[in-house]
Amino acid sequence: MPMQLITTLSNLPNSVIYSDFQENISHRIQTVDVLSNVSDILRIHDTTAYEIYQDVQTNKHAYREQAQLPGDELATEAEIKPGWVLDRYKFLPMLEHAQKNYPGFKWTVYIEDDTFVFWSNLLRWLATLSTDDKPFYYGANSGEKNEAFAQGGSGIVFSRSLMKSVFSGPNIPTLKEYANFTADACCGDMILGKVLRDHNVLVNQGEFGPVSFRPEPPWKTAFEEFNWCKPIFTFHHLHQRDLVQLTMLESKINQDNVGSQRPIIFRDIFLKTISPYIKERLNNWDNFASRHKLTEKVTKLTNPPWAPPPDPVVENPVVLEQAYTSPDACHAACVALSDCRIWRHEIDNQNQKSCSLDIVVILGREYLGREYLLGEPSRKRKAVTSGWMMDRINGSLMKDKFVFVRLLDKGVLGNTCTRTLRKLSDRVRLSEEGAMDGLDKMSGNGRTEIMIG
């Protein structure tokens, strides 16, 4: 949390930090124990959560690492569980407290202590929206169809109309009302999604929300034509070093483009944090390629369930039949598939081999240590080799033009990002004329007040 105070939260005039216990984290900042008035509900409906809450109050001065961020040391179930158990009870009392004590803000933005926000981008976008229209909220989509909600760690933005209509007045949704549902649910953001759906409020009814709020760090983000020119609002699952690096990156880009109202886009993140580190092949590295998985028994390429037909075809099926046998064979399969940009060869702890191919570009991370996060030391025997098709990446994503244009009819600066596009049959396309997908809206001037929860 201290690192957030000098990075993401450093220039915000209005913010409040919610927790499961009250403490002073600086000379001017005291956290709000958002569960203090609902502990009886925990005691009645969830004795495990109540015992954890009481334990936190008793041992509040004991340091405990419960984040379970990617890269953390091995944690036992007992060490991981408490934070998640209490988290699901915080959302409703937190938003009620925020509306009661900080009413009237145009936007209320919720983030977590491992979230980074590109405020310059987010504020420009919010300035194009009306906060007093029909209640709405934005974030990274999670869940499916009628169960969709905004994933908390990627940041959630609530309109003033939502805060006023749902979390004030005589019919505020309470934890007592949703106690049984909460006790059986996995997490607080899912519960919040249920509550808001009950009030006829759905997530992401508009542009950018499903793409620009990221539920992962840059090294796990999939870069492709679909998001290449879109603005980036947040990243999640970040360590303190990541927060500092992204703060510096945002500052540098904004300083280099003073007066242009230039948004920071996925392309910028790729060039600064991903491109310098990818190469043809890395041993003991996982780039998370997953679109197509080939094994001894699976030797044909089939699209994922969400991708429409037809399935991809290669001229030499023998290449696919042998793909699982070795990293070289896996690489050959990627070469044979014209859209393939990354490949991943794996030998699991039962000596089963597989080859995964993908059309996106993901950096990934060193494989050694991943099994500690998963809590499965036996998986240390597993071997993973990853590769990137550098010529294809440089000849497609990197073969673009990024220029700034003055929109004379609007009297403001806008942006255009164009490139030579490949044909990807199952993705939303970006044409050269509309590549920025409405980003010119973000170039106007606007002042937005933010309260962070």
234, containing H or E segment: strand 234-235
**Statement: residue 427 has pLDDT above 60:** no
Mean pLDDT computed over 429-439: 32
Q: What is the overall mean pLDDT for the chain?
A: 77
What DSSP string describes 237-290?
Answer: S--HHHHHHHHHHHHHHHHHTTTTTPPPBHHHHIIIIIGGG--SEEETEE----
Q: What's the pLDDT score for residue 431? A: 26
Of the chain, the percentage scoring pLDDT greater than 90 comes to 32
**Statement: residue 192 has pLDDT above 80:** yes
Render pLDDT for 279-302 as a digit per residue (tens, 0 to 9): 999 999 999 999 999 999 998 888
Opening angle at CA 421, ends 416 and 423, nearest 5? 145
Tell me if 371 sits within 8 A of 75, measured CB to CB: no
Mean pLDDT computed over 366-393: 70
Question: Which segment of 254-263, 377-386, 418-427 scores lowest on mean pLDDT?
Answer: 418-427
Map out the domains of the chain as residue ranges: 1-278+432-453, 281-395
Q: Which sign, positive or negative, has the C-alpha torsion 315, 316, 317, 321?
A: negative
Within the chain, how many helices (H) and strands (E) appear? 17, 19
Tell me if 301 sits within 8 A of 336, measured CB to CB: no
Q: What's the pLDDT score for residue 1? A: 60
Give, rounded to a whole angstrom, the gap between the first and last alpha carbons of the chain.
13
Q: How confident is the model at residue 276 (pLDDT cuts 50, 70, 90)?
A: very high
**Statement: residue 130 has pLDDT above 90:** no
**Statement: residue 163 has pLDDT above 60:** yes
Question: Rounded to two decimals, what is the model's pTM?
Answer: 0.80
pLDDT: which is higher, 345 or 69: 345
**Statement: residue 430 has pLDDT above 50:** no
Q: How confident is the model at residue 207 (pLDDT cuts 50, 70, 90)?
A: low
Question: Which segment of 8-22, 75-89, 110-124 scores lowest on mean pLDDT?
Answer: 75-89
What DSSP string describes 280-324?
Answer: SEEETEE----SEEE-SS--S----TTSPSPPP--S-HHHHHHGG
Question: Which segment of 118-122, 126-130, 213-217, 317-321 scores lowest on mean pLDDT?
Answer: 126-130
pLDDT: which is higher, 108 or 51: 108
